[in-house]
Structure 1
Amino acid sequence: IGVQVAHILYSPNAIADFAVMLMLMCLRKAKYIMKRYEVKDYELGRNQGRELRNMTVGVVGTGRIGRTVIKEISGFGCKILAYDLFENEETKKYAGYVSYDEILEKCDVITFHVPAVKENHHMINLNNVSRLKPGVVIINTARGSLIDNRALIKGIEENIIGAVGMDVIDNEPVYYNFDHKDMRLEDHDAIILESFSNVIITPHTAFYTDQAVHDMVENSVVTCCQYMKKEKIDWRIV
């Protein structure tokens, strides 16, 4: 019936910056330190963190956002490994492509930047969580369905996973985008994850910057104008 559908792209830096921030917060135990600070506990205690330059970082997905993350963390001096079904030359300037198995087994930090499709469902799960490098930091600013919540709980409780930073969470459609402050949350696994001092969860807000919102509005208008003028639509899907 003549309806056309198009992607509306926005700044990849919005997500990439947030992912790097979560990496640093996890490595430096920011949540634990800030909670102790709130009760005026200023002792060093277990505050000792790790430096990104000493880490091997695995980037799963080297599209626009993944490539931006790789460029940003390259400045920290860390070793970078990448996994994607479709390799690109730009990524190879900063990172070496390896198999997904190698990402799981060799990386101190793993950050996910792939879409939510059937083939990517629960890329970290109860079957492979034990293969992760002990102390690994897991970062997810892509889609919640990429990681099984129960696998994260198992990994943390068994001292396999050192820290987690997530802007998205499994079963997110029933958990986020609503005001829950006067309600009882029913997602048991999410409640358990939130209780850990080494888990940082934010409510799907990584994309929300002034530049990204500007891009969404501008590109929406540009796409409509291209359609009205019968021009080629840059980000057309169908």
Structure 2
Amino acid sequence: MALFWKRAAVCMLVPYGGAFGFVSTAQNLSGSSMATYTKSNALKMMSDATGSAAKKVLVPIADGSEEIESVTIIDTLVRAGAEVTVASVSPELQVTCSRGVKLVADKSIADAAGETYDAIACPGGLPGANHLRDDPTLRALLQAQNEAGRLVAAVCAAPAVVLQTHGLIAGRAATCYPADQFKSAIENYSTDPVVVSGNLVTSQGPGTSLAFALALVAELYGEEKASELKGQMLF
């Protein structure tokens, strides 16, 4: 018998097998909830395989964040062996993304603020990017991250709305979603799908989010690890 699924889904990073796993749930027409995808203990497996310490990455999300970008960043970096913290800047840990997909963060941005991260990667989407821009805790984290020369990254609307607004691009080459309202905010706008300018990594949108995430892997773990993941992910 065929099952038909409602559009609404919930994706979350949860403790799984002693580390973090990734679970997506959906509801069938009878209203019951079931897991549709589980990625087990990727962090532990990748760290064991590479023998390298996990890099710490913060991915802030909010109501209206772009779901393809958010999940692609999270999943790709976990595959690489990173310790990814998903932090909500919204009042609740569960956020509703720009197309209705629901994501559950690990913690609030306030609770995430006490850590030092090797990278902070902001997804785009509207009004999600506006919420990231307006959060004072995230702004302080991004400014400290940039001053320390650690990776600051954003995709889609976020380079223009979040990073440029807070002076974090500062004339460097960057890209963003190729709409005039965003392009015009970036002085040295590039048409490249992914741009790396020192500790700044930017990209254009949902369709470039895997290339963006793999560029972050290359910056954190090296080109060899990024190439390995490209092969595994058929990219």
Normalising by the smaller structure, the TM-score range is 0.3 to 0.5
TM-score scaled to structure 2, two decimals?
A: 0.40
Q: Which has the higher strand share?
A: 2
The structure number with the bigger radius of gyration is: 1
RCO comparison, higher one (Cα < 8 Å, 6+): 1
Q: Which has the higher helix share?
A: 1
